[in-house]
Structure 1
Amino acid sequence: MHTVAVLALDRVVPFDLATPIEVFSRTRLPDGAPAYEVRICGPAPEVDAGMFTLRPPWGLAGLADADTIMVPGRSSNPPVPPEVLAALRTAAARGARIASICSGAFVLAATGLLDGLRATTHWAAAAELARLHPAVEVDPDVLYVDNGRLLSSAGAAAGLDLCLHLIRRDHGSAVAADAARLSVMPLEREGGQAQFIVQDPPPVPRGSELEPVLEWLERNSADELTLPAIAARVGMSTRTLNRRFREQTGTTPLQWLLRARVRRAQHLLEATDEPVDRIAGQVGFGSPTAFRERFKRVVGTSPQAYRAGFRGAAAS
């Protein structure tokens, strides 16, 4: 039987810890037999889980012959005990599959195993992961990344997506679909993390010479604005305006404007029942097709799917 070891470290996030335990322990093969043996392993007899103390039944020895090791996130990222890093490296060397959930990517990255590979984590922690581990290619937009033996997922519910993906790899779509139904989850979700990130336009420092024009762009983002018109507004040449924008916002005036329009569209999709094509015109896109393409590029999903996911919560 395939053995899944769930690593419990101090400050483990209970949700991230429980996700692989519940999903894998409930998975059944077509004949009704359990698909996985699940172990909870920790480097100490007691683990601080914030709201409670956990006593893992297995020590790090439980990782020694595990087929898959799941590394849940932690609410903070203190140094990883050296014995944990050594155990993970040893497991990887013998061919074990290791997967992180949420900020568990920091633990996996600390082993050096992710160097040169693509990985993800919760979007709010992605920049910090990239800063601490520059050899890791951090992708903040996806729900999970599969490098074969090394995998990583974004936060919270993305851990479910990753577990279901692993089950499908191990036992096929039918078993994974049954596990998804038990979890009240689709087997695959449309889009990535981008749909959950507040898509504010890039900020500009207070007191900047661009601050007045950015406020003006925000107020008039639905108008038909061109680069020459924006440049005339601030009394600059288009070349100078582009250069100043890149220096102070990291993007161009038109890209900043498009991001502002998408953010306005997100609000309208969440808070109104206006048809998508009408919203496209209200926020300043010349055609519904252009709006859908830009929205998908920025948010990672379609306007219709975004509304389906967020309309109920906003309305209530």
Structure 2
Amino acid sequence: MQFFFYHGMVALDVTGPVDVFHAADELLSRDGNGEEGYELLFSGRTPGPVSTSSGLRLHAETSPVVGEVDTLLVPGGMIAETASEDPGNVLAIQMATRKAKRLVSVCSGAFLLAAAGFLDGRRATTHWKVADRLAELYPDIRLDPDAIYVQDGHIATSAGVTAGIDLALALVEDDYGPALAIEVARLLLLYRRRPGNQSQFSTTLAMQARAGKRFKPLVDWIEANIEQKLTVDRMAEKANMSPRSFARIFPSETGMSPGRFVEQLRIDRARELLESGAEGLEGIARESGFGREERLRRAFQRRLGISPAQYRAHFIKGEQHDHRSRIRNIHL
């Protein structure tokens, strides 16, 4: 696996995936089953130190390697768009990917893959902050600006920074099966896996952004009391408004009715409980404010299209499958 370095990239876009792949190597070595894991190669336009956006210096060991490179990974950075306008960077990426079986970008690294011509007509994602700009420059990309990561054939793209860790876990699962991905997540104290189509934002952050400064204290109070009965009258009282004014103003400022707003926060709480391995759907229903398992199930089916049990299985279940022994050459 080869990583492509350029000045101004985000360090975590590199170090997050590197630690995931390294942890996979450690676990494969511990098992002693002959699987060789990942060989990590670090390249840049020229060998030498590369400054990241935080000032941390990483070292490019080599110029881009042309050959049987399994995966090329391109990190993002606030200057990724500028870096993508440099013909030297684009040419280096094109050369390194001539025989690569898989192309990966983290965050705004999608600008460099797009400039090299690899994202035209494909589904992709990037950091929400630069999604509009990427779509403007490359209208042929089928951009999903809300996804954590997107895998379209042999090309995978992720949202900002820590989403690169989610994508790296997904790649480990693709390469070596869910059992190893689960062990890597446990070793690094990560969630088993967030699905790629999960929103880049937690619902709480999204709801707070919707509510704005005026209703932020109310959102905080709702979160702290999510398991209670939350009527319009009660929320209006906490917002120091009459029920009639609250019912009129709240939707106009948030784009949601109070009931839908609360349900979305409850779904988010239930998701957190399911992802953490909490047992008993009845208990999860009570803690998240749905009261009964049936109400929890109906809300999940209506809003997410799956049952709570299916959602939990996505995180904590998986059967190990056979796969061929291989060395993955990753170039950052």
Q: Give your verdict on TM over 0.5.
A: yes
Deviation sequence 1:20-39 (CA, Å, 0-9, x none): 46368666799737455542
Q: Does 2:243 correspond to 1:233?
A: yes
**Which amino acid counterpart does residue 3 of structure 2 have in structure 1?**
V
Counterpart of 2:172 in structure 1 is 164
Q: Does 2:153 correspond to 1:148?
A: yes
Q: Quickly say closer, same or farther: Cα 1:261–1:159, change in 2 above 3 A.
A: closer
Q: How does 1:55-134 map to 2 (within 5 A)?
A: 55-60=59-64, 62-63=65-66, 66-74=69-77, 77=80, 79-80=82-83, 81-89=86-94, 96-121=101-126, 126-134=127-135
Partner SS, residue 251 of structure 1: coil
Deviation sequence 1:161-201 (CA, Å, 0-9, x none): 13303524xxxx4xx85687577379x93543559825242
Q: CA RMSD in A?
A: 5.1
Counterpart of 1:6 in structure 2 is 3
CA displacement at 1:58 relative to structure 2: 1.1
CA displacement at 1:128 relative to structure 2: 1.5
Picking from 291, 296, 301, the partner of 2:296 is: 291
> Matched residues in 2 for 1:161 and 1:92: separation?
22
Scaled by the length of structure 1, what TM-score is found? 0.63
Picking from 204, 208, 216, the partner of 2:211 is: 204
Q: Quickly say closer, same or farther: Cα 1:59–1:260, change in 2 above 3 A.
A: same
Q: Quickly say closer, same or farther: Cα 1:141–1:302, change in 2 above 3 A.
A: farther
Q: Quickly say closer, same or farther: Cα 1:162–1:75, change in 2 above 3 A.
A: farther
Partner SS, residue 167 of structure 1: helix
Picking from 45, 48, 51, the partner of 1:48 is: 51
Counterpart of 2:22 in structure 1 is 22
> Matched residues in 2 for 1:75 and 1:295: separation?
36
Q: Quickly say closer, same or farther: Cα 1:145–1:235, change in 2 above 3 A.
A: closer
CA displacement at 1:147 relative to structure 2: 1.1
Q: Quickly say closer, same or farther: Cα 1:226–1:41, change in 2 above 3 A.
A: same
In structure 2, runs of 5+ residues without a counterpart are 237-241, 317-332
Give yes or no for contact 1:16–1:159 (8 Å, CA) kept in 2. no
Picking from 220, 223, 227, the partner of 2:229 is: 223
CA displacement at 1:7 relative to structure 2: 1.0
Counterpart of 2:256 in structure 1 is 251
**Which amino acid counterpart does residue 131 of structure 1 have in structure 2?**
D
Counterpart of 2:41 in structure 1 is 39
Q: With CA pairs under 8 Å and 6+ residues apart, which has the higher RCO, 1 or 2?
A: 2
Scaled by the length of structure 2, what TM-score is found? 0.60
Partner SS, residue 107 of structure 1: helix
Give yes or no for contact 1:23–1:179 (8 Å, CA) kept in 2. no
Q: Quickly say closer, same or farther: Cα 1:282–1:40, change in 2 above 3 A.
A: closer
Q: Quickly say closer, same or farther: Cα 1:164–1:33, change in 2 above 3 A.
A: closer
Deviation sequence 1:204-228 (CA, Å, 0-9, x none): 3556xxx59x67994987436489x
Q: Quickly say closer, same or farther: Cα 1:57–1:235, change in 2 above 3 A.
A: closer
> Matched residues in 1 for 2:111 and 2:260: separation?
32
Q: Quickly say closer, same or farther: Cα 1:43–1:195, change in 2 above 3 A.
A: closer
In structure 1, runs of 5+ residues without a counterpart are 310-316
Give yes or no for contact 1:129–1:138 (8 Å, CA) kept in 2. no
Identity %: 24
> Matched residues in 2 for 1:102 and 1:129: separation?
9
Counterpart of 2:330 in structure 1 is none
